[in-house]
Amino acid sequence: MKTIYLDHAATTPVDPQVIETMIPYFSTYFGNASSLHSYGRDAYDALEESRKQVAELIKARKQEIIFTAGGTESDNIAIKGVAYQNKQKRQTKGPHIITSTIEHAAVLEVCKHLQTQGYKIEYLPVDTEGIVNTTELENTISKDTFLITIMTANNEIGTIQPIEKIGRIAHDHDVLFHTDAVQAIGKMNLDMAKNKVDLLSISSHKIYGPKGVGALYIREGVRIEPLIHGGGHERGLRSSTENIPGITGLGKACELAAQRMEKDTIYLKKLRDQLIKGLLEIEESFLNGHPTKRLVNNAHFRFTGIEGESLVLGLNDKGVAAATGSACSSKKLQSSHVLTAIGIDPIHAHGSLRLTLGRENTADEIAYVIKVLPEIVDHLRTMSPLWNR
Amino acid sequence: MADLYSKKVMDHFRNPKNHGEIKDADATGTVGNAVCGDLMTIYLKIKNDTIIDIKFLTFGCAAAIATSSMITELAKGKTLDEALKITRKDVADELDGLPPIKMHCSNLAADALHEAIKNYRKKKTKK
Ligand SMILES: Cc1ncc(COP(=O)(O)O)c(C=O)c1O
């Protein structure tokens, strides 16, 4: 059976050009980038070329990029690094961080951890479309606040936050601004020369690069405490011999993202809108998130009367790979905190479905999904006590 | 694909037996909570203390649907006393097991059956 992959927010296939770029760095140019001989210099050159490619994608300077082992690590280094650096500075009521209720676990769990270390965390609510209220944000800032961390775009419902405005507010109040851009990278323009973003997290495997590699943008002049101490790699901010194959993969993925962004976004938006239009034809189906301020590749629905895990397994039987925010599919058996935050009741949250597109998807594939999905929904509804016949 | 569930669970999920309502049921039993993600109703037709027809409606994951389908097969034709002896573990065993995390929340079918039988007996003693 032909399969259709519609879970690009979870991860993406590695682009053949990315693989080709990586291969020589496993055994031909395998050197340690710190070594003085030619093996080392080759690795070092590749490392610095990759840094340039990442920087160019977000219009940053090369020296503002450090490599990490993924999006989660970038978030940890950014938030804890800034927190530890600022612990002593402002302490009238305890050092204060502002975040949102819909962050990825890589941010929320770091904040929860910092709460146990004496930091005060404010979790800003979002509206029913998933957007943070910037007036409320500004009102929440106190003289103890040293960091705002709010994601560029949400991984579940795809809502895009007003990060330019948030950056300006942070800057006006002399507060640092970190944003998790793991889902946004390559799908929208992010310009560090224009935006007042101080730290920005990137993950390679969401943009057709390999897993286990990421990057963190740290604006020049922003000081953070390292979490990983050792040989002083990455300006002492992240020690450990650099993962050159992974890093060259991320570099190439960024270069391709920059080249393809314009075409990709137009193409993905068209497919996404075709999908949304088609699936909203289903009785009692709803779009979650914002109608326009959403990632070009994200379509997120809820269907009354059915449960998401059943829906995802039903789709899998038809060759379609999708995701759900249903509790039954999560490790903790809790429904999605994001859907709760936008005010969706638990029953409807269980019936949620996330379809995230990628550049290899086609209009024919979307048409196929629009054909088979209503049949699965109908089948599950005939079994459901919550469906009014 | 490596399945999350046993082949039997997937068979019952794909082709559930005895789903739907019995409009003139002699008893029904509902357990679970839609807020938690699993809600199950069992419908019974009973004659001479024997289950002559049984159907279910279930809102829930594949495990919830499969256990509902399985219980209808296990209980059909049984006397009420026999049916009361069917346990959650029997249902899971017949399905070649369930993932540990699903053993509690999505394995409610036996409870729904027992609830229906209890309701039936309550109704009869009142008459
Ligand atoms: C918004 C967001 N942040 C962080 C991460 C974590 O990235 P990684 O898997 O590279 O650690 C993800 C991916 O799941 C994500 O979607």
Q: What is the pLDDT of residues A285-300, one digit of tens each?
A: 999 999 999 999 999 9
Residues of chain A found within 8 Å of residue B6, distances taken between Cβ atoms: none
Any residues with CB less than 8 A from the CB of A58 and at least 6 apart, and which?
A: A181, A185, A190, A191, A192, A200, A202, A217
Q: What is the mean pLDDT of residues A124-150?
A: 97
Question: Any catalytic annotation for residue B36?
Answer: yes
Boundaries of domain holding B40: 7-122
From the CA of B2, how many Å to the nearest CA of chain A? Answer: 11
List of long-range contacts for A280-289, beta carbons under 8 Å, 24+ apart? A281/A370, A281/A374, A282/A373, A282/A374, A282/A377, A285/A377, A286/A348, A288/A157, A288/A339, A288/A342, A288/A344, A288/A352, A289/A129, A289/A130, A289/A154, A289/A157, A289/A158, A289/A159, A289/A342
Percent of chain A with pLDDT over 70: 97
- Centre of ligand 1 to C-alpha A70, Å, is 7
CB hemisphere CA count around B49 (13 angstroms):
6
Whether B127 is covered by a domain: the verdict is no
CB hemisphere CA count around A107 (13 angstroms):
27
Q: What is the pLDDT of residue A332?
A: 62
Say whether pLDDT at A214 is over 70.
Answer: yes
The minimal CB distance from A382 to the residues B19, B35, B39 is found for B19
Say whether pLDDT at A168 is over 80.
Answer: yes
CATH of the domain at B100: 3.90.1010.10
| Token pair 């599950």 in the structure block, residue | A380
Where along chain A do its domains lie?
Answer: 4-11+260-382, 16-256
Percent of chain A with pLDDT over 90: 92
Which residues does residue B30 pair with via DSSP β-bridges, in sequence order?
A: B41
**H helices then E strands: how many in chain B?**
6, 3
Amino acid identity, residue A56? E
Say whether pLDDT at A272 is over 70.
Answer: yes
Residues of chain B found within 8 Å of residue A331, distances taken between Cβ atoms: 101
Q: Considering the candidates A105, A266, A328, A347, report the single residue annotated as catalytic.
A: A328
Does the CA dihedral A226-A231-A236-A239 come out positive or negative?
Answer: negative
What pTM was estimated for this model as a whole? 0.94
The three-state secondary structure class of B60 is coil
Say whether pLDDT at A201 is over 90.
Answer: yes
- Centre of ligand 1 to C-alpha A236, Å, is 24
Cβ pair A246, A213 in contact under 8 A? yes
Residues of chain A found within 8 Å of residue B39, distances taken between Cβ atoms: 385-386
Whether B89 is covered by a domain: the verdict is yes
- CATH code for the domain defined by A16-256: 3.40.640.10
| pLDDT, tens only, A299-338 | 999 999 999 999 999 999 999 999 987 766 666 667 899 9
SS3 track for chain A? CCCEECECCCCCCCCHHHHHHHCHHHHCCCCCCCCCCHHHHHHHHHHHHHHHHHHHHCCCCHHHEEEECCHHHHHHHHHHHHHHHHCCCCCCCCCEEEEECCCCHHHHHHHHHHHHCCCEEEEECECCCCCECHHHHHHHCCCCEEEEECCCECCCCCEECCHHHHHHHHHHCCCEEEEECCCCCCCCCCCCCCCCCCEEEEEHHHCCCCCCCEEEEECCCCCCCCCECCCCCHHHCECCCCCHHHHHHHHHHHHHHHHHHHHHHHHHHHHHHHHHHHHCCCCCEEECCCCCCECCCEEEEEECCCCHHHHHHHHHHCCEECECCCHHHCCCCCCCHHHHHCCCCHHHHHCEEEEECCCCCCHHHHHHHHHHHHHHHHHHHHCCCCCCC
Whether B117 is covered by a domain: the verdict is yes
Cβ pair A376, A311 in contact under 8 A? yes
CB distance A327–B57 less than 8 Å?
A: no
Cβ pair A222, A175 in contact under 8 A? no
Q: What is the pLDDT of residue B1?
A: 47
Q: What is the pLDDT of residue B10?
A: 95
Q: What is the pLDDT of residue A230?
A: 97
Q: Considering the candidates B21, B36, B104, B123, report the single residue annotated as catalytic.
A: B36
Q: H or E segment at B77?
A: none
Neighbours of A37 (CB within 10 A): 9
Number of domains composing chain B:
1
Cβ pair A148, A170 in contact under 8 A? yes
ipTM over 0.90: yes
Q: What is the mean pLDDT of residues A243-261?
A: 98
> Ligand 1: residues whose CB is within 6 Å?
A 70-72, 75, 104, 106, 151, 155, 180, 182-183, 203, 205, 214
CATH of A4-11+260-382, one of 3.90.190.20, 3.30.1490.100, 3.90.1150.10, 3.40.50.1370: 3.90.1150.10
- Centre of ligand 1 to C-alpha A182, Å, is 6
Residue A116 tokens read as: 């146990």
Residue A206 burial (CB < 10 Å; 0-12/13-18/19+)? buried
CB distance A335–B37 less than 8 Å?
A: yes
Pocket test of ligand 1: the residue of A14, A104, A336 to mutate, having most ligand atoms within 8 Å of its CB, is A104
Cβ pair A93, A144 in contact under 8 A? yes
From the CA of A100, how many Å to the nearest CA of chain B? Answer: 24
Return the residue in B61, B68, B101, B102 with the most chain A beta carbons within 10 A, the one to mutate for interface testing.
Answer: B61
Q: What is the mean pLDDT of residues A65-80?
A: 98
Q: What is the pLDDT of residue B100?
A: 86
Q: How many CB pairs under 8 A join A and B?
A: 74
Say whether pLDDT at A88 is over 50.
Answer: yes
Question: Any catalytic annotation for residue B61?
Answer: no
Q: What is the pLDDT of residue A115?
A: 95
Q: What is the mean pLDDT of residues A343-353?
A: 91
Q: What is the pLDDT of residue A1?
A: 78
pLDDT by residue for chain B (127 residues), tens only, comes to 457 899 999 999 999 999 999 999 999 999 998 877 889 999 999 999 999 999 999 999 999 999 999 999 999 999 999 999 999 999 999 999 999 888 877 788 999 999 999 999 999 887 6
* Distance between CA atoms of residues A130 and A150, nearest Å: 12
Query: Pick from A182, A151, A150, A192: which is nearest to A73 by CA?
Result: A182
What average pLDDT is seen over chain A?
95
Residues of chain B found within 8 Å of residue A336, distances taken between Cβ atoms: none
Cβ pair A168, A195 in contact under 8 A? no
Chain A: residue nearest B18 by CA?
A: A383
Q: What is the pLDDT of residue B85?
A: 97
Pocket test of ligand 1: the residue of A67, A72, A188, A211 to mutate, having most ligand atoms within 8 Å of its CB, is A72
Q: Considering the candidates B90, B105, B119, B121, report the single residue annotated as catalytic.
A: B105
CB distance A306–B39 less than 8 Å?
A: no
Between the alpha carbon of residue A330 and those of residues A107, B95, B101, the distances in Å are: 18, 22, 10
